[in-house]
Structure 1
């Protein structure tokens, strides 16, 4: 094991100890919040001291959203249901994907101080739900096989105040229709940032809307910050975010657990909402620029030409995106200019930004600095971890994540605890996982 990897393992043990000793009362009181490993990995408590997404509206083109869920109530606008008519702020038991995505973006939790339930990365943002149709139900549901497209909902989002649009779905097509691409262009002309999931088939073929020109295509990483093996890839991928063992709000059951690039896209949309709240004068492209220039790539990718087909510009680091001194850059950032031509210097700037400064994998020296003087704490922590493991070996946490992913200073080494079964969880293989996955892979969303 290399010195860097050894230090990462040590860091993981230290953070595991902090979780055991520092947050045990909260975790035991609310397992749901404890299961939200991305919040800890992102350093959410420090992020919320800088921005909470207040004043930003994120449109969610998806199944309708349950605006009465205790973790979302008050943060969901009426919206419009393009499939069944009326508003889109209520959902039945078979329509929970939109609720799940909304909760990852703008959930505020419930209970004393919002300490229970699911909390989104941008808890003060507002959700504009835009309901779409699905063919089939439950695991057999697939977006876009019916007669509707996302063109009309996207235009509605733009005309009703959304500055970010989350599209956690992929259609049956590999390219957008002319009406859909026109709607994408319309959104971009109105300075709206578009985020879409890449898909969960583990293939290189682009899927619509992630394939549409001008959309931020997002893939998923697991708790070790490795690309999820079922995350679609290709030259169109721009960013990565957590998408494995993701706890979110449900409808038929209060909470669900699933894997998918859908969740990853929701986290990118939430990070964008944080940035739009703090930097209201930046364009959508410049917001994307901050996301890609603060993203982190593995050590073996730091000198590669970016975007990489699997890693894009890297995994998002919202705290760094909010606090790092990053020049605004060109209007379109890493996105192509309208008309298909690259913005002057945009791709080159994004590539250079992701390869330099705070965007590299953490160096050995940085890791030494972070963990210097922690030998005593480590001994105590390791003893506690060993004791816990002996008592419950089946719940061993996964190995430590890559450094450079977290809160202030980008400190990493986080060892997230995988979600534990409880009476409220919907397992990834349970009803309602979306979209249905090939039989050989874990269902994604």
Structure 2
């Protein structure tokens, strides 16, 4: 099987000698943190007062990770390289896996960890799962993805980040992904960096969260792949992250966007350990935002999905729990996840198996007639009681709160509508992060100053 990672070879911009660890003055080292505009856009300091992702394991299926990087040291588990069978935490050449790990769970370094790259979920642990690559393009035999996903699930990952694309899935791959969905793992996949309206089989697989990229104004990046399967977007332009062959890189790509969504999922899984993956997705969807002038679009939109993530809102807003699957589709032949969260008030916790059991109950025609007559008798009694109550003026409001079962508090997932959670411009920051012609993150991108997208 051939993996085509159109997301991997994002143009890393090497950081020159003045920014090497230990050789730069404090002001230069702080510039790396200052370059992380998504943390400012997310108001990460407020986010970390609510959750840091502590106790959550995020698998990064990618290049192996440099666990000795100062911004990751102590946050990377041993993991496994599925090609060699050895550990996946000693990479010193390929940058992509280390970059994704740092966006998710980097903790920085220096006094108070104020320097270097910090991830959205600095308290989470990274489980690196290395996949083969040559010349920046992975090339796995059949079953490679299945092996990686199965290892991640079997070793405690509740979030899996897959910042790569795959045009076809084998039967083994589909079974592994279905098993991950059944085990209630939150699966994140990047849409790709070709700017085309076509998503591959992995991105389109039921149960995964497909993520596109936006710039710092919240507008979709012009090279972000799109399609009806797109669920969310996240920052993906001018992203500063750690690297293995050099201290840091600067890049564009939906890979980075997916990593931010994985970090947000880790925050939520730590804060709401009883919620299912679908209910976590529900919180991200229901609190997502749209850029100025787009609040009235029909959702999900092929480019934006339900909008860009707003982690603080997802952590703190009063969002109904919703159904176990939330906005996620279930792989064919699978039932809803059995692990995690409570069923929403009024929602059924049973599925198709119950109906099948009724069909196989073996009731004969005589028993069915008897049951029917009994039901009619009970109904007659109920009618008499209701009429009597009406005469006495004792009828209360309809069940389910104001508006009946369909009113406020109703169970289940409802697609997000334009409303209070779609506030314009939350990624457009004051000062140097305002949109400027040719500036970092400007929309549309300014080719002479932007690193390449693949």
- Cα 1:442–1:250 change in 2 (3 A) is closer
> Among residues 154, 157, 173, which one is paired with 2:152 in the alignment?
157
| Corresponding residue pairs, total | 346
Q: Which runs of 5+ in 1 are unaligned?
A: 1-24, 363-401, 406-411, 419-440
Query: Aligned residue for 2:264?
Result: 271
TM-score computed with the length of structure 2 as normaliser: 0.71
Query: Aligned residue for 2:31?
Result: 31
- Cα 1:276–1:26 change in 2 (3 A) is farther
Query: Aligned residue for 1:444?
Result: 453
Contact 1:37–1:417 at 8 Å: present in 2 too? Answer: yes
Q: How does 1:37-436 map to 2 (within 5 A)?
A: 37-93=37-93, 95-134=94-133, 136-137=134-135, 141-144=136-139, 147=142, 149-171=144-166, 173=167, 175-339=168-332, 349-351=413-415, 353-356=416-419, 358-362=420-424, 402=425, 404-405=426-427, 413-414=429-430, 417=433
Aligned-residue RMSD, C-alpha: 2.7
- Cα 1:128–1:341 change in 2 (3 A) is closer
Classify the secondary structure of the residue corresponding to 1:165: strand
Classify the secondary structure of the residue corresponding to 1:240: strand
**Larger fraction in helix:** 1
Contact 1:246–1:258 at 8 Å: present in 2 too? Answer: yes
Query: Aligned residue for 2:21?
Result: none
Contact 1:286–1:333 at 8 Å: present in 2 too? Answer: yes
CA distance in 2, matches of 1:26, 1:355: 44
TM-score computed with the length of structure 1 as normaliser: 0.73
Q: Which runs of 5+ in 2 are unaligned?
A: 1-24, 337-346, 348-405, 435-449
Runs of 4+ aligned residues of structure 1 deviating over 4 Å after TM superposition are 25-29, 144-148, 340-348, 412-418
Classify the secondary structure of the residue corresponding to 1:306: coil
CA distance in 2, matches of 1:275, 1:326: 12
Contact 2:82–2:144 at 8 Å: present in 1 too? Answer: no
- Cα 1:45–1:64 change in 2 (3 A) is same
Classify the secondary structure of the residue corresponding to 2:91: coil
- Cα 1:29–1:148 change in 2 (3 A) is same
Contact 1:306–1:312 at 8 Å: present in 2 too? Answer: yes
Classify the secondary structure of the residue corresponding to 2:413: helix
Q: Flag the structure with larger Rg.
A: 2
